Amino acid sequence: MAQRHIHYEAAFEDYIRSRGWPYIPVDEQRKAIFGGARIKSFDYLVYRPGQPAWLVEIKGRKFPYDGNGRKRYWENWVSRDDLADLERWEGVFGDGFEPVLVFAYWLLGLETRDPTPEVHAFKDRYYAFLCVSAGEYARYARTRSPSWDTVSVPNADFRKLVRPIHVA
């Protein structure tokens, strides 16, 4: 396994290895240049048997997120650049490749609202992995922070869009 310093990515990599899916971790420190434009690298190229290959952007979030003493569930914000760059990568790779956002939720405590029944244990932490096509996410996304140039999908819509990674 490649050395991963971000625990969400390390947990995801452990999970896909446990499923036996071939994958390539992408060096996130490098940016590619296509047509004179710099494109942020995605995190993994994942080959699932009999399915289109995934161009995966990992989004690590706590579940629940404790903000100002208030628990929030289903945090799902991304930057507009994440979506634009995944769309560019889709154009580079072409048919047979699907750009996806994988939300790696670090499960904090025993919750009755866990995002999926399948939980993955990794280094004394528990994770749930949910995915959504980047294009589908973009269709439902609304501005979250103009100053940070981030978007999110309203929780009710997001819960309808995402699917557990093991059934995707």
User: How far lies 12's CA from each of 5, 34, 36, 55, in Å?
Assistant: 12, 28, 32, 14
Q: Which domains does the chain have, with CATH numbers?
A: 7-167 (3.40.1350.10)
Q: How many CB atoms lie within 10 A of CB 129?
A: 24
Q: 141 pLDDT exceeds 80?
A: yes
Cα 36 from Cα 55, distance rounded (Å): 21
Report which secondary-structure segment, H or E, holds 77.
Answer: none
Q: How many CB atoms lie within 10 A of CB 125?
A: 14
pTM value is: 0.90
Q: Between 21 and 4, where is the model more confident?
A: 21
Q: 15 pLDDT exceeds 60?
A: yes
Task: Report, as an integer, the average pLDDT of 66-93.
Answer: 91
Half-sphere exposure of 98 (CA within 13 A, CB side): 17
Structure tokens at 156: 């009710």
Strand order of the β-sheet with 150-152 is: 78-79, 150-152, 142-145
Residue 73 near residue 63 (C-beta atoms within 8 A) = yes
Lowest mean pLDDT among 7-16, 27-36, 84-93, 127-136: 27-36
